[in-house]
Amino acid sequence: MDTLLLIDGNAIMHRAFHALPPFKTKDGIPTNVIYGFFSMLHKSIADFHPNFIVVCFDTPKPTFRNKLFKEYQAQRPKISDDFITQIPLVKEALDKAGVTHLEKDGFEADDLIGTITQKFKDNGIKVLILSGDRDIQQLVAKNVYVITPKLGLSDIKMYDKTEVQKKFGLDPDKIPDLKALMGDPSDNYPGAKGIGPKGAAKLLQEFGSLDKIYSNLEKLDEKTRIILKKYKKQVSLAKKLAKIDQQVQIKFDINSARFEKFKDDLKNYFLQYEMKSLVNRFFSTISNAKEKSEKKKNNSQMGLF
């Protein structure tokens, strides 16, 4: 089975920025995001040997979620200039490497990832999603796995359906319902005030879905019933914000994302930004990844599948 690696570009860039010291070139150009992003990409390729790679990015323009709820993510602190400076550099490096990347105004990277996942998960392709954002675990299904960096950038945690159930007490596709009830402070939207993660999970375990909870309000205790009635509109809005759009209109040909090895132009790009250690790591080993993959197959993480 071929493997498609989908990368949440912004999530991994943020992870790199906060995990690494503020590396800079002699001219003062920050490089920690570039360094960390490509280190994580290298590790994912070495561990999972994908046949196709696509990196998806957010754009600076408002998304449909901002239009639904103007306070969406409004509490987040201003992004550092050192981070912003490196976003186009990461994209340029991907171009040099020959790695496909996508973005679309009005949507988040999660929505593009969800759309591509929906298209290929039942077509005999194994989908791996690299992201530090736990919301994307709602996409986990048969042949769809989320891999998340742990301990900075040095380790990876894999989530299949069983792991998601352990974490949330629910199937992956119920995560939007869970967030609808409990809200999400990180994205700055409330749910049903007074119902926390444990209470929300318990309700969903008992009734199966948000719609069925609201169809059985008479079976709930008075306090919970009052809360759910009071915040019904808020809960409905929260679910729209939490659910990843899997029907985004994008042009994408998977054959254009086929990956065999990094182009040599990437080597010169790394040297331009004084990242010689990445040159040594990438071009002494990764160019032989396809040949080595068969030898490592029985001992690699692919065995988890």
Distance, CA of 31 to CA of 140 (rounded, Å): 32
Is position 304 within any domain? no
Based on the domain organization, do 122 and 35 belong to the same domain? yes
Residues 179 and 136 in one domain: no
pLDDT attached to residue 285: 53
Q: Are residues 15 and 55 both part of a single domain?
A: yes
295 occurs within a structural domain: no
CATH code, domain with 101 = 3.40.50.1010
103 and 212 both lie in a single domain? no
Asked whether residue 92 is domain-assigned, the answer is yes
Identify whether 185 is part of a domain: yes
Question: Closest Cα partner for 243 from 149, 177, 146, 159?
Answer: 177
Domain identity same for 154 and 183: no
Residue 227 lies in a domain: yes
- Based on the domain organization, do 162 and 31 belong to the same domain? yes
17 within a domain of the structure (yes/no): yes
Quick check: is 230 in a domain? yes
Cβ-proximal residues to 210 (8 Å cutoff; 6+ apart), any chain: 177, 180, 181, 204, 235, 239
In a domain, 58, yes or no: yes
Same domain, 188 and 43: no
Quick one: 205 and 273 in the same domain? no
Total number of domains constituting the chain: 2
Please give the pLDDT value at position 305.
24
**What tens-digit pLDDT sequence spans the chain (305 residues)?**
899 999 999 999 999 999 899 999 999 999 999 999 999 999 999 999 999 999 999 999 999 999 999 888 888 888 899 999 999 999 999 999 999 999 999 999 999 999 999 999 888 899 999 998 889 999 999 999 999 987 665 678 899 999 999 999 999 999 999 999 999 988 988 899 999 999 999 999 999 999 999 999 999 999 999 999 999 999 999 999 999 999 999 999 999 999 999 999 999 999 999 999 999 999 875 444 444 444 444 344 323 22
Are 160 and 189 within one domain? Answer: no
The answer on 270 and 212 residing in a single domain is no
Q: What are the beta bridge partners of residue 3?
A: 126
* CATH number (domain holding residue 173): 1.10.150.20
Of 209, 225, 242, which marks where a domain is finished?
242
Tell me, yes or no, whether 13 and 139 share the same domain: yes
Q: Residue 113: its pLDDT value, please? A: 98
What pLDDT sits at residue 300?
40
110 and 17: one domain? yes
Using an 8 Å Cβ cutoff, are 135 and 175 in contact?
A: yes
**Pairing verdict, β 144-150 and 155-159:** antiparallel
- Which residue range forms the structural domain that includes residue 268? 2-167+244-288
Q: How many other C-beta atoms are found inside a 10 Å radius of the C-beta of residue 162?
A: 9
